[in-house]
Structures are given as C-alpha cells and as structure tokens.
Chain A
Amino acid sequence: MKEQLIDLAKKSGADFCEIRIEDSTQTSINFQGPELENVQESHMYGGNVRVAVNGTWGFVTFNHPDDLPRRISEAVRNARAASARSTVRSVLAPVEPVQAEVRLELKSDPRAVSLDEKIRLFGGYNQRMLDTPGITSTNVRYFDKLSSIQYANSEGTWISRECADMGMGASALAKKNGTTARGSAAQGGRDDFELFRGMDAEMDKAAKAAIEAADAPVVEGGTYTVVCDPNLAGVFVHEAFGHLSEGDNVAEDPRMQEVLKLGRRFGEDYLNIYDTGLDVGLRGYLPYDDEGVPTEKTWLIRDGVLVGRLHSRETAGRMNEKPTGNARALSYKFPPIPRMRNTCIANGPHGKFEDLIKDIKLGIYAIDSAGGQTNGELFTFTAGQAFMIRDGKVAERIRDVTLGGNVFDTLRNITGVAGDYNVHDSSGGCGKAGQMPLPVSHGSPHIKIKDVVIGGR
C-alpha cells in the first residue's frame, strides 16, 4: 500500500498530489428522556485525492478504493481545465518528507467495554438526572470512534495513523411557568474510557443548574464586567482569537496582514495565548496534521504581542512563514484547511477566582458554554450558567446570558488572568467551511473582561 500510494501520487502530473484513505468505525448511544433513542454502529470508508495545478486545487472524493487512478486523473483534469485562467502559482511551504506509523496507545480502550456495559453506564447517568425532582427531560449522548488513516503525497511523505476519539454530553431540562432551562455536563478525550466513569456528581450539578435556571430572571441587557470560568474562557479564546489566527484569513489579504501584523500589541503583558497539538489524551491532540506535517506548540500572543498564526502548507507558503501543523480535515470528504487543535490562554498573575471578583461592584460570572460563533471581528457565545456578581461576591443566578463583542476591543479589555488553568474536553467540536464537528480542545484560567455587551431584556 505504502509504495503504491506514493508512486501514484508522484506520477499524477500535477504540481503536487496527495492521497488520503480513511477507515473508521463509530459506536453511538443516545438516551432521550426515559428512552434509549439510538444505539448505532457505523462504518465510514472513503478517500480523496487533492492536486495542485497552477495555484488551483482539484479535489475528488470517492468510496470505491479500486477507482483511485481514475480519481487522480479526474482531479488533475479538473484543476487543469480551470488553471488556464489562474494568475498565481501553487505555493506550498517546504517540509521534510515524513514516513511514519502512528499506532493507538490507549490508557483504556473503549472497544474493551461491552456495548451492554456502556448502555448501563450512560443509561445510569440519564436515569439519575431524570429521577431528580423538577427535571422534565434529559438527553445523554456518547460516541467512540476509531480511525485508521493512510496518507501519501508526491514528495514522498507516507503516514499510517490510527486514532481514537470519544465524547459524551448530558443535558437536563427543567420547566417552570412556561420557561424551559437547561443544565449540562460533558466529557471527552482520545485515549481513556475511564474518564467517563464516576460522573454522578456532574449529573447532579447539571440537574440542579437546570432547575435553578428555570426559576431565574433573564439578565438585564447592558455592558458588564464579566468573569469567565476556564471552560467559557477557553471557548472565548477559540472563538475570539483562534479563528482570527487561522492563516487562510490572512495569507492573501494585504489588509488583514496589516491588521494582524506580527509584533502588534493585542493585550496587556499578562495575556499569553497558544495553540498546541502536543497534549496527549486531549481531543485536540494531533501528532501529524492532515498534510503530514508534525504538529507543535504554536505561540500566538506572548506578553500581549502577536507572535504567530496557524498555518497549512499553502498559507505558510504564501506568507513565507513556517508551517505549524494546523491543516486539518474533518474526514476524507473534505480538504485540509487551517484549524485549531488545543487553544489556550496561559496562566496569569492574578491569583485565584476570588481575587478576580473581589473588586467587582456589579458584574456577571459566566460558566461553561452553550456554543459560540465569530465572523473574525465580532463574536457571540452563550454561557451554560451565569450568576450576578454584586459587591465582590457571587450573587443570584440569572439565565439566557449571551456575550457579544468585538474581538480586538475584548482582548484589550482582559483586565485579569488568574493562575488556575484548566482544560476539560466535551463531545462537541469546531465548525468551519462546512466541516463540523472537528475535535478540538480549549483551556484557560479564570479571566476578567471589562465592558462586555450582554444581550438581555
């Protein structure tokens, strides 16, 4: 297989050719209310060919493995047909060809746990929430996915990589006076099924959060000082700065290169942001990206100043910068594009959570995330739970707290970074260009941001 794939890639006739063949199996379990709504076993098999001709990509996906030579011809034909109008050349940053086999190294293998046992475990969590007085409905989802990916390109790189991905999300719904509110818990990782055991306390917290939120007032809209817990701060750095750092936003846009000029100050000296593929066990762990480039820890902001960005080989090549191992594809159905891995705010000098809130007269403590979105400059995300902060203390619970803002202003407005870094994976993922959910991680200590716009009544 190895020699055959490299040989086919080398003989494509394109400026560059890569081939990916993927074989994955996934087990999924979903409880909804009292019912086991879905138990499913899936087999995903397919591949793609990506070629570059005169700066234009030809990308072809397939499910029949015997069709590979024909698919390469189709990709080259398409790219050639279009490239007559192309005004740029194919540019890929140079990397040393790699030949590697990456085998699964699991602390606890999900395949060693019977389906029966998984259903008992996650069904138990579901029932625990359902049994909580005041809870009207629940949802518990679990998946484990084992993949084998063969990658080869025309430069002689060949990587055979096995990987695992696991995730679980639980939510409880409570309804009071016509208002429905949600509490949630999550877990995820790449190498340890044991993470999913012993989560009763998390289920209890989710149920309690839902019940209390159903009775809580909607936040009064306005501008507040907000303290984010590590999970929400992680989502914030992912949405607000991670996406902006992806090289495809910058590589061919001179104005963006000006806005995101290396050396520009984005925050105070205590603001440090990085993205890393090196954290074994996290969902953002990635030994090689989907162009066969070894991953790394990439600093984006050091001491408040922009020092790097997240590149594919193409975006790095166009900017004459170094590839960072951030080219990722959701599956064989998509081409690799610059994406995040584990995106983090590093520990800061402002002590603990209590130290961050002690001087806040009126503010909001926002915990966990119900998701978020950015368009590069503006961002929106919703807190999973929230409380008012009054006179330096956490006060009453509020609900439906959506944080919005301008990325640049908000980074400048981070006025506190605690020293209690934490990272906790969930079952969700990142979406970009139709590729969702890509497994990523995000971590942070508690942070304090002034002048955050909160949509409310």
Chain B
Amino acid sequence: MGRDFDSGAPGASNTGKATSSEADTGVYEKPATAKFTERLGSLADAYEMYKSEGTSLSVSFENDRLNEIRQGESYGISIRAVKQGKIGFSYSSKPDEIDHVAQSALRMAPWGKPYDYEFAAKADSGHTRPYDPACGEISVERSVELCENVKDIIKSIDPEATADVSIRGGLNATRIATSRGQDCREDESGFGYFVSARISEEGNFLTVYRGRGSARVIADEEILEQARETGEEFKIARKLLPFSRGKYRVLFAPHAVADLLLPIAVGVNGMNIARKTSRFVDSLGEELFDKRISLEDDPFHPDAPSGALYDGEGVPAQKRPIIENGVLKGFVHTLSTAQKCGHAPTGNGQRSVSSQPSPGLHSVIMAAGDTELDQMYRDAEGGLCVSQLLGTFTSNFLAGQVSGNVSLGFLVRDGRRAGRVKNCALNVNSFDVLKSQVVSVSKQREWVGGEYLPWLLIDGIGISAR
C-alpha cells in the first residue's frame, strides 16, 4: 500500500513519523470508519479494531543464480468486541468483510475471556521512528545486480562456495481504534538482506550467513562488505579441526548470545509472571546476573529493524530497562497480564493482525562491555568461538536451559579462529552462566534480528562431543 497511504514525501527518508488521532487518510477512510465504529459501538460494550495492509518485494538468488521475484500483498482486519463482560475475537484477510468480522467477534463473546481490564485509552506516543518510503520502491533490476555482485564476491574468495542471496523491502500500515478513544496509526517501512555461502560435501556441510533488517534501505556498501566477511568466515570454517569433549572457555558471538538470552526473555514475559511459572516472579530488584549484563527494551532505536510507536493493543510503547547492571528491573506486559499482576501496562502487547496480543520485547539492546574483541579472542586461547547453535528453541527456557548442536563453532588458537569444530553440542543453564561465569563483554556489538548484542566470553562451558 505505502504510497496510497500518505506515507510521506516521495524519496524522503528518515522522516519522523508521528502518530495521529483521527487521521483523515490511512488504513481506514474516515467516513467509513466513523460509520462502522458508531455501529459497532452500539452493539458492543467495548471494542478494539486492528487493521493492517502492506506490500513487499523480494529478489532471491539460490544456488548461485536468480531464482525468484516475489511480490506480496497482505491485508487483514481483526476485532475484539466485548459483550456482557466477555471478549470475542475474529479475523479476516478478505477485504470488505469488516461487518462479518464484527458480527463474528460478537458471536464469539459469550465464550471469550473476561474483560477484566480496559482496552487502550486515547494516548499519543510522542516518539518517532524512521520511515523510508524507498523500502516500497525496490527496483528488481538493481536488486538483481546487487545479488550478482554479492555472489561474485563470495565466489572470488572461494570458488567452491554456493551463494544464496536475498534482498527484500516493503511498507506496511496499521491502525488500531478502540471504544476508549484511542485511534493510532503507524506507517512502517522495512528493508533486509540475507547473504549465505555454503557447501555440502562429504563429511562437511557448511553454511555461513549474515543478514540484517532495518527500517531504512541499507547501503549497497554494507551488503557487499558483509558478503566479504561471510566469504572470509566460510574460508576459515572449511578447515576442520579435531576436538574432544570437556569444559571450555567459550566466546559466544552475537547470534549465539541471542540464544543465551532466550530464557531471560521467557522469564520476564508477563504471561509467565501471571501464571507464576517464571523463576523471576518475586525477583524484581534482585541482582540475578553479572553486573556487566544490562538489557534494555528500546522500541524507538533508529537502527532497529523492529520496534513500534504503539504496541499491538494501541498502548504507547516504552523504552525500559529489563536488566540493569545485573539487577532485574522490569517485566513485559499486555494490558491483560499487567492487570493480572497488578503492574502498570508496559506497551509490550505483540501480535499479528490475525492473533490476540501476548507479551513480547520490541528490540533488546544489550549494553556494550569494555573489552576489545581482539583481546577476547586472545583470552579465549585454546577454547571455542561459537557462532551459531542449532535447535535451541526446543530447550526448557523456563528452567534456564539452552541446549543445541554447535552448528558453526571454531577452535581459537593464536588469538584467532583457527578452524571449525563439528559434531559437538552444549547444554547450559543461562541463569547460572550469566551470573557467575562471564569473563568479559565486548565493546563491539551487532544486530541479530531485532537485538543489538555484544560478544560474551564465558568460562566453564561443558561441550559434549562424539
């Protein structure tokens, strides 16, 4: 949709996009919306309407060659309607079904969850996030050329590597309106790239990848530089080194640090606080982790690929500390879980248009440490650098467990990655290792999805190996 939704001056980038109440243009045309909400307001005791529309384009190379140009349109509307103290919910991706969705939500209400909190009241975010309309104007020809250049760089470093590359961009507009007067709209832009070098040969399947998302179009230079780094890491990883089980000092790269943080994300989730399944239920204000561990949820970070001015319930999002110098400072809540816990709402209701909100972090920003990465490699001498883990999502995060195969790990010798180690796995308890086994935290950080993370050097990690 993008250009149809008054999304800013063509060609302009980084336009601060404030929200508006009662905007004339956008996902709803005002007269139709006003008429509909009036009708819904007369039938429901309270309501919330969520509408989302977007377009996207992606160019993908697979197996060293152009494979697919994908152009997507997405549309959805959902309504939460309250009748006799209960919430009914319904969703449709079919345009012009707004009345059907409202009727269905009202019909579901008798079985729904009690309306024991209130939908979002009128409130402005007061913040801005980057918006780049150029994300909606990705050129097929230019993207194909860029993918070709990425492939050429990887092949120039190792002609035996197979390159997969994708470039994607898109625009999306959402609008949330409630019976309590909230009527917020948000235009979002998104751009991302993925670069991978791989080889599947007898005894050595190897994939090395890089990627990043952003609300702004990312410069070609960054993508080409990442292609070079991917190729260089691939080259190192093709050399296999022998390795035996034991306890090692391990340098966790940002991708693997993201895995280590999953138990914390699950532990501060308001759903697990309300259900009392989290270990953190009674731990606010306690020093649970090493003092160098600080995590902040920042929905407004200018470089974050994710984030929002409002959460999925229309509540203004907030920049908040979660862990500060090792001390647990906050949980993340929807309106419902906040009410259940007797806490203030935090603006963390995450959802797609087709689902009801549940608590979730926007963008996790982990504080940088004071150690240069080069020094950390030297300090990891004889240990491992773990870049990627496989299958950690099956771990028992509530218990702090992070377990998985080391899908990309390196032996560290002479202060650098000397070669790849394979057929090994780790099983750690994040709550323990992040409390008492952290050796150092890097000054350098990288984006991993919506998280901005440093490298962590950790002592005494048990590695199982064949």
The interface of chain A, by Cβ under 8 A from chain B, is 32-33, 35-46, 55-64, 74-75, 78-79, 81-83, 85-88, 115-116, 119, 136-137, 173, 175, 178-182, 218, 221-223, 249, 252-253, 255-256, 258-259, 333, 335, 370-382, 399-400, 402, 404-406, 409, 451, 453-457
Residue pair A63, B104 in contact (C-beta under 8 Å):
no
State the CA gap A38–B71 with chains docked (Å). Answer: 32
Residue pair A255, B73 in contact (C-beta under 8 Å):
no
Residue pair A221, B89 in contact (C-beta under 8 Å):
no
**Interface membership of B424, Cβ < 8 A:** yes
Complex partner residue of A371 from B95, B113, B394, CB under 8 angstroms: B394
State the CA gap A2–B142 with chains docked (Å). Answer: 38
Chain B, interface residues (CB within 8 Å), range: 35 or more
Knowing A402-B391, A405-B423, A453-B465, say if A256 contacts B200 (CB, 8 Å): yes
Q: Which residues of A contact B279 (CB under 8 A)?
A: 178, 180
Residue pair A55, B65 in contact (C-beta under 8 Å):
yes
Residue pair A259, B94 in contact (C-beta under 8 Å):
no
State the CA gap A281–B192 with chains docked (Å). Answer: 41
Residue pair A40, B356 in contact (C-beta under 8 Å):
yes
Q: Which residues of A contact B162 (CB under 8 A)?
A: 253
Residue pair B202, A182 in contact (C-beta under 8 Å):
no
Residue pair A180, B277 in contact (C-beta under 8 Å):
yes
Complex partner residue of A402 from B71, B427, B466, CB under 8 angstroms: B427
State the CA gap A429–B272 with chains docked (Å). Answer: 24
Q: Which of A249, A378, A457 has the most CB of B within 10 A?
A: A378
Complex partner residue of B399 from A179, A259, A381, CB under 8 angstroms: A179
Residue pair A370, B394 in contact (C-beta under 8 Å):
yes
State the CA gap A173–B275 with chains docked (Å). Answer: 10
State the CA gap A83–B69 with chains docked (Å). Answer: 10
Say how far B197's CB is from chain A's closest CB, in angstroms: 13
State the CA gap A404–B399 with chains docked (Å). Answer: 20
Say how far A258's CB is from chain B's closest CB, in angstroms: 7
State the CA gap A74–B70 with chains docked (Å). Answer: 10
Say how far B458's CB is from chain A's closest CB, in angstroms: 15
Say how far A215's CB is from chain B's closest CB, in angstroms: 12
Tell me the nearest residue of chain A to B59, going by C-beta. A82
Residue pair A86, B275 in contact (C-beta under 8 Å):
no
State the CA gap A179–B422 with chains docked (Å). Answer: 31
Knowing A39-B112, A56-B69, A57-B69, say if A81 contacts B141 (CB, 8 Å): yes
State the CA gap A409–B90 with chains docked (Å). Answer: 49
Tell me the nearest residue of chain B to A24, going by C-beta. B93
**Interface membership of B245, Cβ < 8 A:** yes
Residue pair A61, B108 in contact (C-beta under 8 Å):
no
Complex partner residue of A63 from B94, B101, B394, B403, CB under 8 angstroms: B94
Residue pair B92, A181 in contact (C-beta under 8 Å):
no
Residue pair A402, B90 in contact (C-beta under 8 Å):
no
Q: Which of A41, A137, A376 has the most CB of B within 10 A?
A: A41
Among residues 394 to 447 in chain B, which have CB atoms less than 8 Å away from a CB atom of chain A? 394-396, 398-399, 401, 403-405, 407, 422-427
Residue pair A380, B68 in contact (C-beta under 8 Å):
no
Residue pair B65, A87 in contact (C-beta under 8 Å):
yes
Residue pair B67, A402 in contact (C-beta under 8 Å):
no
Residue pair A175, B277 in contact (C-beta under 8 Å):
yes
Complex partner residue of B66 from A56, A375, A380, A402, CB under 8 angstroms: A56
Tell me the nearest residue of chain B to A44, going by C-beta. B93
Complex partner residue of B462 from A64, A259, A457, CB under 8 angstroms: A457
**Extra pairs beyond A63-B75, A182-B398 (7, CB < 8 Å):** A56-B69, A136-B277, A180-B277, A223-B466, A402-B427, A453-B424, A453-B466
